[in-house]
Homo-oligomer: A and B are copies of this chain.
């Protein structure tokens, strides 16, 4: 039997993956949720028709969202994670014994339930005693927080649908307020390549630049995301992602990664000229 899942990456580009079986299909209050088993990528989580993660390449996204700030900030104790219902960011964060508490704010409880059942590879650390899950709107949650977190990781879906509020100026301002005076905010920053994604990218960067004194963008290769070229934002009140990188300390921890290294960390901030130009145009 031929069974193919296709993601419409742009109106003119489709990415198709052969599927063995659909393991789950449901509709929550917020979105359609599907889980597929595929020979190339293992299990895949799909929200509203968009691939959120696959077992084969999720390590790239989750390592790059987590270890980049952890190798820069000298002492992370309190973390806020917004979105991230699949648990991948939590799995990486719980590798650090010095982290005392993680607030995870996911709007859609059904995503967490589905991931616990079908995606143990990412959901495996959601029961860590340091993790407190809040089923709430991240935008609302962060409004009431002040001077509380060392690190905020915004693992949002795309800038349309249920994640839309996580791309507003108000949200970034509230994240700034919720961070301590040396806090860092990391967010997934879309792709620079296709026109529509590039526009989101510029809009986000403009808003973050207006909300934080230090705002840098870094990139990684994520094969199952549109164009495979994905950006992340590093916004900070004090630490610079390269000047304050403590590679010796990070390497002494002995955390094993498959994508991240402290050398790659540096290269991740060296962007192609067309991306630099796109970002500078809104700075």
Q: Which residues of A contact B (CB under 8 A)?
A: 4, 6, 10-18, 38-40, 57, 60, 193-194, 219, 221, 223, 227-229, 257-261, 263-264, 266-274, 276
Contact = CB atoms under 8 A, between A and B. Distances in A.
A272 B60 contact: yes
A227 B15 CA distance: 11
A272 B13 contact: no
A194 B259 contact: no
A263 B242 CA distance: 13
A231 to B, nearest CB: 10
Contacts of A39: 12
29 contacts: A4-B14, A12-B17, A12-B18, A12-B39, A13-B16, A13-B17, A14-B16, A15-B15, A15-B16, A16-B16, A40-B194, A193-B221, A219-B221, A221-B221, A221-B227, A221-B229, A228-B228, A257-B273, A258-B274, A261-B270, A261-B276, A264-B270, A264-B272, A264-B273, A266-B266, A266-B267, A267-B268, A267-B270, A268-B270
Contacts of A12: 17-18, 38-40
Nearest to A60: B272
Contact of A273 (B11, B16, B259): B259
